[in-house]
Structure 1
Amino acid sequence: MYKVALGLTSGVGDVTTRQLISYCGSAAAVFKTPKGKLLKVPGIGPKTAEALLNKENIAEAEKECELAQKQNIHILFYTDPAYPSRLKNITDAPALLYFKGNADLNSEKIIAVVGTRKATPYGKHVTEQIVQELSAYPSVLVVSGLAYGIDIAAHKAALQYKVPTLGVMASGADIVYPSGHKNTAAQMEESGGLLTEYRIGTKPDAPYFPARNRIIAGISDAVIVVEAAITGGALITAEIANGYNRDVFAVPGNLDAPCSEGCNMLIRNHKANIFTGVKDLVYYLNWDQQAAPAKSKHTDQYEQLDEDSKKIVNLLQQNKEMLMDDLSWKAQIPVSKLASLLLTLELQGLLKALPGKKFTLS
């Protein structure tokens, strides 16, 4: 309830939410923190502090939670274990997600398949072929945007070949758009599902579509653009994916086909790898390699650490160096507790402090 209330509070966005959790320790603690202490949190001004003290937000959040329960919609806060871990690590990730279905949002392999709404028979055929090839691999989740064209072709192919598929929506989880895809969306919930950052009852709006594309890119290991014009949502998704350091692939097409101009441009500008089959994914994503991780010189010490300390070490293994605030919100450890853990790890020789409140592994 308190997690939802944060999202309903005026002046509190996704980044501010993470700052508040980092400094206060939990969503519930935020609403119990005195105004004076709230004002010490970076990004919190008098208006936002006053808004956090407004009890109406909590009452509205309670109604939202009750509605979600009635409609079998799961509300995922970014600190929840079921929240997509790939998405959590991007700077503009939604603090709150609404999920309907049974998909594992942290599947071992997550591939986004996107493209034009005006798909050609060739584009639909290639999309089906991609999903059919993916069905041979375990723990695959196919992601798309539930739109006309390539998106819905990907979802339908996934249903046909029994691959879990996730539709990322630009509306509330209870409003399927376009409405003609309601039956497909209902089938997707059985092994896949529907995901959105928008409140229940939210109708689709133009600005929501580009925003949802960052979720498609952020939740995936790779994005495949099957067909795309020179402008459009698929190219936005590809651009965002590149910014998130995700692998991007594009299916090449006829030079005189408008629906292939975007794909050919991505390949020409080195913003996408050429896609000739799922074998390309296997190669670039190392699906055929199951090598054991190299043993660290601190392996024995690592095994003796508590869970919070292991989180810190794992994050620093993934990132060469990190700011204290970034460590706090990504590890979900309050700054007050984090400082003590960092000092202990430094004394143990596992990490070292750098200027500017940055830390790195020793």
Structure 2
Amino acid sequence: MKDEKLLAILRLQKSKAIGDILAKKLIVNVGDVEQIFKEKSAILQNINGIGNHGLKHLFDEKNLKAAEQELNYIKNNNIKYSYFLEDDYPINLQNCIDSPILMFKDGNINFKNDKIISIVGTRNMSSYGRDFCTKIIEDLVQYNPIIVSGFAYGVDICAHKVAIKNNLQTIAVLAHGFEQIYPKVHKKYINQVNENGGFLTEFWSEEQPLRENFLKRNRIVAGISKATIIIESAEKGGSLVTADIANSYNRDVFAVPGRTTDIYSKGCNNLIKNNRATLLTSSEDIVKMLNWDIKESPKKAIQKQLFVDLNENEQKIYDLLSEKGQQLLDVISLECNIPIYQLSSILLQMEMKGITKPLPGKLFELM
């Protein structure tokens, strides 16, 4: 990626009044991230949600200077990154409307494996939780899943360590930048995680592990995987937030039941009782729910010549879904550079032609 484009992305990301959803809307409507900062304010104001407050932050010179400093840090330290419109961006996250427009990564992360699960839970893990976490991962080794967690105390670090012990790829999603590590006691695991996967963060190099950052981090943990597993949780906690986010993304959520008298089983028990999570007792529950035990027969390729009446926009959409599979409405809009108000009508026409079909959560795929 050229420095000019990365600088524009960083500048947009630094504009706190914009946010990821509005940032994507700006890119769609303007057509190119660099063009945003060349566009007239009067035109940008017509984009729903931007407002005078957003414009003020967007063109704040402090953001430009900060973006230039971060760009230098990225170049000087060979920091790897993933832009949400490029192929190396995690496909599951790409389907989340509020996913980061840019993420930084370290290690040997490989997203070609689509069997990705997130394992989270309390920092005060019991021996029961530790044993369950260990066994569930060991029993899934034959499916070679990627294990995602947040590198925190308790369930998180247990999941990472068991994955490493069993030669599984593991990804630690951080709530801060790469210039620090939290908790510091886990610094000793950095090399092991990097060798068996790596670290992901949306936060710039100097960003501290603030409380609100952990809440933002949770949406990446939930969105990057096919399913989220809650090992143990009190009645309130970050892992329950992650479960709620996963549910909002239409992802599977599993919870490990425990005794009603155990403080750190109450959260899981409530998830199950309120039908917000599937009861998890063994690896078989995951394998069955995610269809890992079913060998998919090769899909017959749909010949493009069958759709000789596709117009230019329909062909763009068809090519995108053919290459990347099911996609979120907003992602299709971004990738194909078609405004949402036009895209909905086009997708309806393609559905009537038997080319596409809608799925829950504003997802679309080829028939």
| TM-score band w.r.t. shorter chain | 0.7 to 0.9
Among residues 330, 334, 337, which one is paired with 1:333 in the alignment? 337
Among residues 214, 222, 236, which one is paired with 1:217 in the alignment? 222
Residue in 2 aligned with 1:247?
A: 252
Q: Residue deviations 1:8-58, cap 9 Å, x none?
A: 235321112111110111111112222232222222234533554455534
Residue 110 of structure 1 deviates from its aligned partner by 0.5
What is the DSSP-based 3-state SS (H/G/I as helix, E as strand, rest coil) of the residue aligned with 2:211?
coil
Shift of the 158–21 alpha-carbon distance from structure 1 to 2, 3 Å rule, reads same
Residue 202 of structure 1 deviates from its aligned partner by 0.7
8 Å contact from structure 2 (residues 247, 253) kept in 1: yes
What is the DSSP-based 3-state SS (H/G/I as helix, E as strand, rest coil) of the residue aligned with 1:80?
coil
Among residues 203, 211, 225, which one is paired with 1:206 in the alignment? 211
Query: Partner letter of residue 211 of structure 1?
Result: K
What residue ranges of structure 1 are gaps of 5+ in the alignment?
353-358
Indicate yes or no: 2:42 matched with 1:40: no
Residue 185 of structure 1 deviates from its aligned partner by 2.4
Among residues 84, 87, 107, which one is paired with 1:101 in the alignment? 107
Residue in 1 aligned with 2:318?
A: 310
- The 2-side partners of 1:361 and 1:4 are apart by 34
Task: Give the TM-score, by structure 2 length.
Answer: 0.83
Residue in 2 aligned with 1:75?
A: 81
What residue ranges of structure 2 are gaps of 5+ in the alignment?
1-6, 357-363
Task: Give the TM-score, by structure 1 length.
Answer: 0.84
- The 2-side partners of 1:53 and 1:256 are apart by 55
Residue 108 of structure 1 deviates from its aligned partner by 1.2
Number of residue-to-residue matches in the alignment: 347
Shift of the 55–235 alpha-carbon distance from structure 1 to 2, 3 Å rule, reads closer
- The 2-side partners of 1:36 and 1:156 are apart by 53
Could you tell me the percent identity over the aligned residues?
35
User: How do 1:1-362 and structure 2 match up within 5 A?
Assistant: 1-9=7-15, 11-54=17-60, 57-105=63-111, 107-138=113-144, 140-292=145-297, 300-301=305-306, 308-311=316-319, 318=326, 327-329=332-334, 331-335=335-339, 342=346, 349=353
8 Å contact from structure 1 (residues 82, 106) kept in 2: no
8 Å contact from structure 1 (residues 228, 260) kept in 2: yes
8 Å contact from structure 1 (residues 21, 334) kept in 2: no
8 Å contact from structure 2 (residues 317, 332) kept in 1: no
- The 2-side partners of 1:361 and 1:187 are apart by 40
8 Å contact from structure 1 (residues 308, 333) kept in 2: no
- The 2-side partners of 1:280 and 1:149 are apart by 23
Q: Residue deviations 1:44-97, cap 9 Å, x none?
A: 234533554455534432321221233342232211221112112122212221
What is the DSSP-based 3-state SS (H/G/I as helix, E as strand, rest coil) of the residue aligned with 2:142?
coil
- The 2-side partners of 1:312 and 1:180 are apart by 44
Shift of the 48–273 alpha-carbon distance from structure 1 to 2, 3 Å rule, reads closer
- The 2-side partners of 1:55 and 1:207 are apart by 25
